[in-house]
Amino acid sequence: MTAPEPTPAGFFMHVAFDLCSRPCCLPVVRATVGQLAAMVGWEAAESRAITLAVDEALANVIRHAYHGRADERIELHCHAVEGELQFRIRDTGDPPDPASICAREVGCDKIGGLGTHIIRDVMDTVSYHSCDEGNWFLAVKRLRRQA
């Protein structure tokens, strides 16, 4: 399968998920995010990496914000515009601990702590905010076209 043509000027698509905090929801999100990334113009390997990063962000919400509770709520907003994908995730669980983000040494055999490294490596910008309405994860990935 060849890579899709990059999306034209003026293109946009917004996909929103309102899902419970069960891991069984993740494959559905991955399928959509992968197709969005391919549509914006990323090749297969990059689309898989973007999909993995979003999956890791959602898994972190389930594990660390909600501590595995299955009946909580997660919002995911995926906004695709020309050459760019933006992801916003909201939860109402425990706020992320800044000291634990990318705290794990890379290349070691420590168990766990890899997800935030994946997110930082794959995305161009990543930020975490907590406010009255909950915790927001924001990430942006921009397409770099070959000259």
Partner 1 sequence: MTISVRDSGVARVVDVEGEVDLGTSPNLRRALFEALGEMPRLALNLRSLEYIDSSGIATLIEVLKHAQGLRKDFVLFGLSPAVQEVFRLTHVNRIFRIVDTEEQAVASS
Q: How far, in Å, CA of 116 to CA of 122, rounded?
A: 10
Q: Could you tell me the smallest distance in angstroms from the CB atom of residue 17 to partner 1? A: 16
φ and ψ at residue 118, rounded to 5 degrees? -60, -45
Strands 12-20 and 84-91: unpaired
Q: Nearer to partner 1 by C-beta: 80 or 122?
A: 122
Tokens of 2: 């060849």
Residue located via tokens 């702590």: 113
Q: Which of 101, 118, 140, 143 binds partner 1 (CB under 8 A)?
A: 118
Q: Which of 10, 112, 145, 146 binds partner 1 (CB under 8 A)?
A: 112
Q: Could you tell me the smallest distance in angstroms from the CB atom of residue 16 to partner 1? A: 21
Which span sits near partner 1 by CB under 8 A: 8-16, 83-91, 115-123, 137-145?
Answer: 115-123
Report yes or no: 99 and 147 within 8 Å, Cβ to Cβ: no
Q: Could you tell me the smallest distance in angstroms from the CB atom of residue 82 to partner 1? A: 26
Report yes or no: 118 and 52 within 8 Å, Cβ to Cβ: yes
What are the Cα distances from residue 75, in Å, to 15, 17, 19, 140, 142? 11, 6, 6, 16, 22
Q: Which of 20, 26, 101, 143 binds partner 1 (CB under 8 A)?
A: 26
Q: Which residues inside 45-104 make contact with partner 1, applying CB under 8 A?
A: 45, 48-49, 52, 55-56, 59, 62-63
DSSP class of 17: E
Q: Which of 67, 69, 110, 129 binds partner 1 (CB under 8 A)?
A: 110
Residues that bind partner 1 (CB under 8 A): 22-24, 26-27, 30, 45, 48-49, 52, 55-56, 59, 62-63, 106-112, 114-115, 117-118, 121-122
